[in-house]
Amino acid sequence: MLKIDLAGKRALVAGVADDAGFGFAIAKSLAEAGATVSVGTWPPALNIFLNLLERGKMDESRKLSSGQLLQFEKIYPLDAAFDTLTDVPEDIRTNKRYKDTGDFSIDGLARRIEGDFGPGSLDIVIHSLANGPEVKKPLLETSRPGYLTALSVSAYSLVSMVSRLAPLMRKGGSFLSLTYMASERVIPGYGGGMSSAKAALESDTRTLAFEAGRKYGIRVNTISAGPLASRAASAIGIIEKMVEYCAQNSPLTDPLEAEEVGNTAAFLSSPLATGITGTIVYVDKGYHSMGMSQQDINPK
């Protein structure tokens, strides 16, 4: 029987702070397939995340098909806006939500992983990171700092992570990020430079697939997921409308489930997908294939 088998694989999912988004769903699917999973969590959300785990508030969502609970091998602090700790402004470094976390930069994450597990100990890296502080603003009203922050955290962080983590990976390893169709089509309300950041992320996926493939023998792909009303996505402000619109106008009309993205991520991270790299895989119920909305054809 052909199945996704990640037994003996070690995975890092960067961008998990609760049990409601794609990052958590991917972590769970990887664990279901047999991988050991560590996560990277934004420092301001770290204590809340740890408390939820310790108090059992996520036990139901952590339950695997075996009846066991999803366990995280390590939980690392990670702020993907910073490549090294020296890049961090003093006011952030001394902030009470950051000061006791150690080195929370991308370089610090790589050093911690190497210290915990040694070189050649990582197989799968999931980039589930995005931040657009002005996402509710139209592009015409977006400031330069807001635009550059969106690109820095949502796109360049993948470049930085591949640069620092690929040397720790075994040959045949997999990097995977999450993008959105706003990279190629206009989604009114998805502003602040986030559409530009997703376009950059997709372009970088192709280039990184070539460079890291030749240098390290690893694969780099991205999933273009449909909208999901997660807590993180609530920052967009119109996420419920986006979910409803896509459900009404997609070939498959059921709303997208986070688990569907998680299962696709497990496949792309597995030996079953060794021939796939530099690719955008759409997991959006087919919405990306539509050229006219159902509402325009059959208005109510």
Task: List active site positions.
Answer: 180, 190
User: Tokens 């619109």, residue?
Assistant: 245
From residue 232, alpha-carbon distances to 88, 133, 174, 189, 212 in Å are 23, 12, 25, 15, 30
The SS3 call for residue 66 is: coil
How far is Cα 71 from Cα 104, in angstroms, rounded to an integer? Answer: 21
From residue 65, alpha-carbon distances to 11, 31, 112 in Å are 19, 10, 31
Residues 61, 25 contacting (CB under 8 angstroms): no
**149 Cβ neighbours under 8 A, 6+ residues apart:** 81, 131, 132, 133, 193
How far is Cα 209 from Cα 193, in angstroms, rounded to an integer? Answer: 24
* Beta-carbon count within 10 A of 119 CB: 11
* Beta-carbon count within 10 A of 190 CB: 22
Residues 189, 238 contacting (CB under 8 angstroms): yes
Handedness of CA 196, 199, 205, 210 (dihedral sign): negative
How far is Cα 218 from Cα 172, in angstroms, rounded to an integer? Answer: 5
The SS3 call for residue 91 is: helix
